[in-house]
Amino acid sequence: MSEIAEKIVVPDTAVTANENDTTTQKDGNCVSWIQSSLKTLIFIAIIIASISSRLFAVIRFESIIHEFDPWFNYRATQYLVNNSFKDFLNWFDERTWYPLGRVTGGTLYPGLMTTSAFIWHALRKIGLPVDIRNICVLFAPAFSAITAYVTYKLTCELKDEKAGLLAAAFIGIVPGYISRSVAGSYDNEAIAITLLMATFMFWIKGLKQGSILNSSFAALCYFYMVSAWGGYVFITNLIPFHVFCLILMGRYTSKIYVAYNTWFVIGTIASMQIPFVGFLPIKSNDHMAALGVFCLLQIVALGDFIKAKISEKKFKVIMWVSIILIMIGGIAGLFLLTYLGLIAPWTGRFYSLWDTNYARIHIPIIASVSEHQPITWPAFFLDTHFLIWLFPAAVFLMFMDLKNEHVFIIVYSVLCSYFAGVMVRLMLTLTPVICIAGAVALSKLFDIYLDFSPIFSTKKTGTTKSSVMTVLTRALVSASFIYYLYLFVHHCTWVTQSAYSSPSVVLPSQNRDGSMAIIDDYREAYYWLRMNTDYDAKIASWWDYGYQIGGMADRTTLVDNNTWNNTHIAIVGKAMASPEEVSYELLKEHDVDYVLVIFGGVLGFGGDDINKFLWMIRIAEGIWPEEVKERDFFVNQGEFRVDSQASQTMKKSLMYKMSYHGFPDLFPNGQGQDRVRQQVVTAADVEDLDYFDEVFSSENWLVRIYKLKDLDIEGRDLSDFAEFEKSKNTKRSSNKRPEIDLRV
Amino acid sequence: MLLSKLISVCLTTLLFKSTLTLAATREDLAIKAQKTTNGIIPLDDYSFKDILDGPRDFYLVALLTCTEPGVGCTACFEFNPVYEMIANSWFQDHKDGISGLDPSKALYFAKADLEDASAVPEIFKFYNIERVPRLMFFTPGGSIHDYNLLNLPQQKANAGAREFISNLKIAVGINDYQVHEPRDWSTIIITSISTFIIVYLLRKHSKIVTGIISSKYIWAILSCAFIVLMSGGYMYNKMRGTPLAGSDSNGNVVYFWPNEFQNQYGIESQIVSVVYAALSLCFLALVLGVPSLADFYKGSASGAMIITVISAVLVAVIYILFAGLSNLFGIKSPRYPFELIKISSLLA
């Protein structure tokens, strides 16, 4: 696979160079024919490269939906395919967030599902009945090809086609984008980046030409984007900010007026048609910038008109007075409206971008998501390789040109590099601009150094020696950068296959002899649930696994990855953190039949529930500070231990008991070696479960499922009953023992 | 009569003796603390055994530090004001050192400072202290030898005090412990003066100022510097308060946290940002500098030579820096196969 990608992408630059040479020839007709056929060829190559490098996951594992959120999207798509669109929009899902249910149709972004349902229907119409799962799995790679084309168009607006082709090749294989668009990663981002680029492309076209048509297209793409991803707020703020900068720079023209007003009016009205968005565009502060710039533009246009009619001196007075009045009025109005509650306060996710400590203090749910963590420098390098150091240089070069469209790229770069630094997931929006800027810079370099014409025209430049020198210099510089391009392809392929192609539902690992082993515990457990439990059984688990249980096991869950109800999540957190008898009562109140925990101690899987346990405690403590206390789970110096030194509260908690139930017995002398936390858990540490029965543990004990015992028919307390049974019968049930071979 | 007097004398002497030999009481410490300005009880050669000896019914944090300039303990100097703030925060609300919410818990702070290298305080010899600063934590009930060593807070200044206090709250089990940050007048004064100067300059030299503000070069340099800073992972350091550098098991300084993709030291972003900036500058020199140089030397024979040499040097510098960068990445991600060259192998 890696070879294919190399062969395809590296020649691109060479071909671009040929093109460069050929343009100097006179035979225009022939040249343009060659050019366009070469361009087509290059595009086919880029498309093949970008799709094929995203198929590692399918080839290594199988055609399967990845991770967590995609499982919900997949389930919703299935619903849409099996029901009408109207049913879909009115879908009330009673099988999640039990007993509340979720108004799913009104709380999701339908763009992704409708697109794949549309593709499914269209393919059936032309006689290709493809399984909806395969459409969903291959959705992201297909859209990445479109992204490459749109990026090409966008870069053409900034420089020329040469830069465009480079940008398309970069965006096709850059890991920062692949990370969210491998086959099987059926997530909103898969389509959103395409739409992001399309919106920007049409916006710049509309701005350059002052064209209503292009701006309307930008608005339509924006509408599509709103329907597909919550990150549309980025566009809502970036385009107004761009216009604002242009006005500040004194670059106001009627073209800007036409483009912005068209985009804003159509885009806003269209976006309000999405049920989940509704009246947010005129209420929430996230959207206020767009509205403000809209008003500002009207004022500037008026000012422009007045300026043409009266003397400059008079105009200056009018300008200053009106500016001050408007500023005072605007700020006062904003405060008043917020104060009266007519416009919503800043939403938490948005606020956490500015005050970096906000989330940690106020919203543990947001802080607990690993996507919302700040980013380290190796992550930047991993995702963009040499483009990351080309990026600042490229921004500097943009400043040298500084047309309106370059201002856009500069604004985008500066803002987004801050956002990406604060939140890992926004790396995804930064990557395209890094590719575009890098391509522009590199193509500038190639314009200068990949031009070997002096060798053919020795007469003009003088001596042959100096022309040989010039060519030598150029060859050296271009060769070194073509080598970096070659390295870039290798890097991207390596990163894609080693870091981003794991479905995370199925875990790859190695046996002791180095052969590949696949750990399929999740699906084993979910399938067990599907086959062995009642259709109406309610499963309690931490919210991370809600979508997967809904999608793969088709059972009702208490909480899932759509973290809309903090209290409900806190209930599960409290149940996990409390002693058995409290949890039992709480879970019984919520009709729970089974409790599912993820335990990585046998396998050495770090992302298990014990490691996430602190967040459960924190979230529960936020609601019941009296009953759940974080510090009770620590030993003296704020250490979080699970071995014999663990705190009593920790050992009594349901999560601990369920994770380590029977674990020490797997090891000789009952010295359970926890491979994640590198601590020894002995049989004396793990107390018996009186209220729960272990019903299933997967092959490597990654997933453990417990059933709540029925209430005793004689009305005894279950712990007393267990005591009584124990005294009667000392025989212990033998557990199925997983192999505890070393696995890497 | 006589007997009762005798008994009472005996009792008082006994009591007196017991207070002498046994531990200090809460009252003693409260009085000692109130005598000081910041609530930190000094541990001098005569009193430290009385103060620290058990069995006690309070918690006590003792700092052994060294502010003798000759020793050059920067950590001591950095931590001293933090410690004062920690102690002061407690004593502002609790004059007697006893928790208001939970009177069974009391907390005191003490300090011994090696200010003069010629006179080492007894307590340093008593505990065989070889490294400063040391934070000792005495819990109720134990003797003079029963203590835990606490780690210094990882963050600096006020953030460090907050971190320490929140840990201390957990360790002692008290809730009514507020952080009182002293109002920093210097920043307010500096801000107001600089605002005044800026406004004055703006009015006086408005032409120059507008020239600077509307200069695209200044904006370009600022934006690029910002981007370089961000892509070096600066925000991570800021939000996590990472230490500047770490040390390995032998106590050597480590600049790059090996094998840790999710973590970094502060100095890592600084080094990486410098490398990024240098690479960008070389690239700009190739794209902008060399062509304008070529225009300058147009026609002269030596010009081509000069340009060739300059370009070759730039290409070499870019290669070396990029190789270094991939090497650094190799430290963070050991299985990375595309290190351009091993710099270490070149040096060897």
Nearest to A54 by CA among A130, A124, A143: A143
Greatest CA separation found in chain A?
109
Residue A457: which pLDDT band, with cuts at 50, 70 and 90? low
Helices (H), A341-403: 348-354, 358-362, 364-368, 377-384, 387-401
- Give the single-character DSSP code of B335: T
What's the angle, vertex CA A22, arms to CA A21 and CA A28, rounded to 5? 145
Mean pLDDT, rounded, for A88-117:
88
Q: Which helix (H) or strand (E) holds A704?
A: strand A703-708
How does residue A289 score in pLDDT terms, banded at 50, 70 and 90?
confident
Torsion angle, alpha carbons of A453, A458, A460, A462, to 10: 130
Whole-number pLDDT of residue A19:
47
Residues of chain A contacting residue B275, judged by C-beta atoms under 8 Å apart: 389
CA-closest candidate to residue B213, choices B198, B195, B192: B198
Return the sign of the alpha-carbon dihedral for residues B215, B220, B221, B227: positive
Q: Do B307 and A473 touch (CB under 8 A)?
A: yes
Chain B residues with CB-CB distance to A388 below 8 A: 231, 276
Instruction: Say how many C-beta atoms besides its own lie within 10 A of residue B56's C-beta.
Output: 25
Grade residue A651 by pLDDT with cuts at 50, 70 and 90.
Answer: confident
The answer, for A492 touching chain B at a CB cutoff of 8 Å, is: no
Distance of alpha carbon B321 from the chain centroid: 31
Which has more confidence, A390 or B22?
Answer: A390
User: Which region among A149-163, A348-362, A617-631, B248-262 has the lowest average model confidence (pLDDT)?
Assistant: A348-362
| Rg from Cα positions in chain B | 31
Residue found by looking up tokens 């046998």 in the block: A602
> Domain coordinates of chain B in residue numbers?
16-172, 215-347
Upper half-sphere CA count for residue A195 (Cβ side, 13 Å): 26
**What pLDDT is recorded for position A744?**
43
- Let me know if residue A584 belongs to a domain: yes
Residue A669 has pLDDT above 60, yes or no: yes
Q: Among B151, B304, B333, whose Cβ lies nearest the Cβ of A466?
A: B304
pLDDT at A361 > cutoff 60 = no
Asked if residue A34 belongs to a domain, the reply is: no
pLDDT for A203 beyond 80:
yes
Chain B residue with Cα closest to A479: B315
CB B332 within 8 A of CB B282: no
Q: Is residue A446 part of a domain?
A: no
Q: How far apart are CA B197 and CA B175, in angstroms?
A: 45
Minimum mean pLDDT among A151-155, A354-358, A607-611: which range? A354-358
**Model pLDDT for residues B296-345, shown as the tens digit of each residue:** 887 777 778 888 899 999 999 999 999 989 988 888 888 888 777 655 55
Model confidence over B121-179: pLDDT tens digits?
A: 888 878 877 777 788 888 887 778 778 777 777 677 777 788 888 878 877 777 778 77
DSSP A538: E
Chain B: give the shortest CA distance to residue A496, in Å: 13
User: Inter-chain contact A375–B262, Cβ cutoff 8 Å?
Assistant: no
Specify the pLDDT at position A358.
Answer: 57
pLDDT band at A246 (very low <50, low <70, confident <90, very high): very high
Residue-wise pLDDT for A6-30, tens only, equals 444 444 444 444 444 444 555 678 8
**Rounded CA gap, A132 and A153, in Å?**
31
Neighbours of B185 (CB within 10 A): 8
State the pLDDT at residue A155.
94
Q: What is the reported pLDDT for B315?
A: 93
What pLDDT score does A419 carry?
87
CA closest to B270 among chain A residues: A377
**Cβ B65 vs Cβ B73: under 8 Å:** yes
Strands A671-674 and A679-682: antiparallel
Interchain contact, B173 vs A449, CB within 8 Å = no
Q: Which of A379-383, A639-643, A721-725 has the lowest mean pLDDT?
A: A721-725
- Average pLDDT across chain B, whole number: 80
Residues in chain A with CB shorter than 8 Å from the CB of B171 are 636-638
Return the axis-axis angle of helices A188-209 and A111-125, rounded to nearest 10°: 90
- The residue among B224, B274, B319, B329 with the most chain A CBs within 10 A of its CB, best to mutate, is B224
Contact map slice: A 609-668 vs B, CB within 8 A: 631, 634, 636-638
Question: Minimal Cα–Cα distance from A637 to chain B, Å?
Answer: 6
Q: Enumerate the residues of chain B whose CB falls inside 8 A of the CB of residue A469.
A: 304-305, 307-308
Contact (Cβ atoms closer than 8 angstroms) between residue B260 and residue A377:
no
CB contact under 8 Å between B333 and A473, yes or no, is no
Lowest mean pLDDT among A29-43, A394-408, A663-677, B220-234: A663-677
Q: Which of B169, B118, B119, B137 is nearest to B64 (CA)?
A: B137
Angle between helices A377-384 and A464-499 (to 10 degrees): 110
Q: Which A residues in the span 425-464 are in contact with B, Cβ-Cβ below 8 Å?
A: 441, 444-445, 448-449, 462-463
Is the separation of the CB atoms in B348 and B319 below 8 Å? no
Domain that residue A529 falls in: 517-728
Mean of pLDDT over chain A: 84
Q: How far apart are CA A695 and CA A705, in angstroms?
A: 6
Contacts of A33 (CB under 8 A, 6+ apart): none
Average pLDDT over residues A51-65: 88
Mutate to test the interface with A, among B101, B283, B297 (most CBs of A within 10 A): B283
CB-based contact A476 B311, cutoff 8 Å? yes
Q: Which of residues 47-106 of A touch B (CB under 8 A)?
A: none
Residues of chain B with Cβ-Cβ distance to A491 below 8 Å are 338
Angle between helices A188-209 and A233-248 (to 10 degrees): 20
Closest approach of chain B CAs to the CA of A460, in angstroms? 10
Long-range CB pairs of B22-28 (<8 Å, 24+ gap) are B22/B53, B22/B55, B23/B50, B23/B53, B23/B54, B23/B55, B23/B56, B24/B50, B24/B51, B24/B53, B24/B56, B25/B57, B26/B57, B26/B58, B26/B96, B26/B97, B26/B98, B26/B106, B27/B96
* Inter-chain residue contact A389 with B227, CB threshold 8 Å: no
Residue A685: give its domain's CATH number.
Answer: 3.40.50.12610
Q: Find the CB nearest A634 among B170, B307, B333.
A: B170
Q: Which residue has the higher pLDDT, A15 or A161?
A: A161
- Contact present, A521 and A547 (Cβ < 8 Å): no
Predicted pLDDT of residue A369 = 65
Q: Does B262 sit within 8 Å of A390, measured CB to CB?
A: no
pLDDT for A580 equals 87
Decide which of A217 and A315 is more confident: A217
B265 to chain A: closest CA residue: A376
pLDDT at residue A356 is higher than 70:
no
Q: Write out residues 185-204 of A within 8 Å (CB-CB) of B.
A: none
Where does the pLDDT of residue B250 fall: very low under 50, low under 70, confident under 90, or very high at 90 and above? confident
CA B267 and chain centroid, separation: 14
pLDDT at position A20, please? Answer: 47
Angular region, A482: left φ>0, alpha ψ -120 to 50, beta rest: alpha
Contact A484 B322 (CB under 8 A): yes
Distance of CA A660 to the CA centre of its chain: 33
Contact B227 A472 (CB under 8 A): no
Tell me how far apart the alpha carbons of residues A360 and B58 are, in angstroms, rounded to a whole number: 33
Residues A316-350: pLDDT tens digits? 888 888 889 988 988 888 788 777 766 655 555 55
Which residue in A has a C-alpha nearest to residue B261's C-alpha? Answer: A378
**Continuous segment of H or E residues that includes residue A642:** none
Q: Between A and B, how many residue pairs show a Cβ–Cβ distance under 8 A?
A: 180
Q: What is the pLDDT of residue A14?
A: 45
Distance CA A684, CA A645 (A): 11
Contact between chains at B283 and A441 (C-beta distance less than 8 A) = yes
What mean pLDDT is predicted for residues B269-290?
Answer: 93
User: Please, are residues A705 and A531 in contact by the beta-carbon 8 Å criterion?
Assistant: no
Q: Quick one: average pLDDT of A200-220?
A: 95
Helices and strands, number each (H, E), in chain B: 14, 7
Does B16-172 carry CATH code 3.40.50.261?
Answer: no
* pTM for the model: 0.77
Q: Give the separation between CA B166 and CA B174, rounded to whole angstroms.
A: 10
**Taking residues A546-570, what's their average pLDDT?**
86
Q: What percent of chain A has pLDDT over 70?
A: 88
d(CA B219, CA B205) in angstroms, rounded, equals 20
Strand partners, A708: A692
- What's the structural domain count of chain A? 1
Nearest CA-CA distance, residue A489 and chain B, Å: 11
Between A16-20, A127-131, A220-224, A720-724, the lowest mean confidence (pLDDT) is in A16-20
Per-residue confidence (pLDDT) for residue A10, from 0 to 100: 44
Q: Residues with Cβ < 8 Å from B199, sequence gap 6 or more?
A: none
User: What proportion of chain A, given as a percentage, has pLDDT over 90?
Assistant: 34
Which of B168, B227, B297 should be substituted to probe chain A, the one whose Cβ sees the most A Cβ atoms within 10 Å?
B227
B58 CA: distance to closest CA in chain A (Å): 16
Contacts of A381 in chain B (CB under 8 A): 325, 329
Residue A658 corresponds to which amino acid? M
Where does the pLDDT of residue A521 fall: very low under 50, low under 70, confident under 90, or very high at 90 and above?
confident
The position carrying tokens 């210099």 is A473
Quick one: closest CA in A to B271, which residue?
A377
CA distances from B63 to B129, B131, B150, B151, B194 (A): 12, 12, 10, 11, 38
Q: If you average pLDDT over residues B51-71, what whole number do you get?
A: 79
Q: Name which of B151, B231, B322 to mutate to probe chain A: the one with the most chain A Cβ atoms within 10 A of its Cβ.
A: B231
From A203, A183, A264, A190, select the one nearest A229 (Cα to Cα). Answer: A190
A356 contact residues in B (CB cutoff 8 A)? 235, 238-239
Each residue of A598-608: pLDDT tens digit? 988 888 888 88
3-state secondary structure of A43: helix
- DSSP state at residue B251: S
Q: Which residue has the higher pLDDT, B147 or A47?
A: A47
Nearest to A76 by CA among A92, A52, A98: A92
Is residue A140 situated within a structural domain?
no
Say which of B170, B233, B284 has its CB closest to residue A376.
B233
Q: Decide: helix, strand or coil at residue A304.
A: helix
| DSSP letter (8 states) at residue B297 | T
**Is the Cβ pair B223, A397 closer than 8 Å?**
no
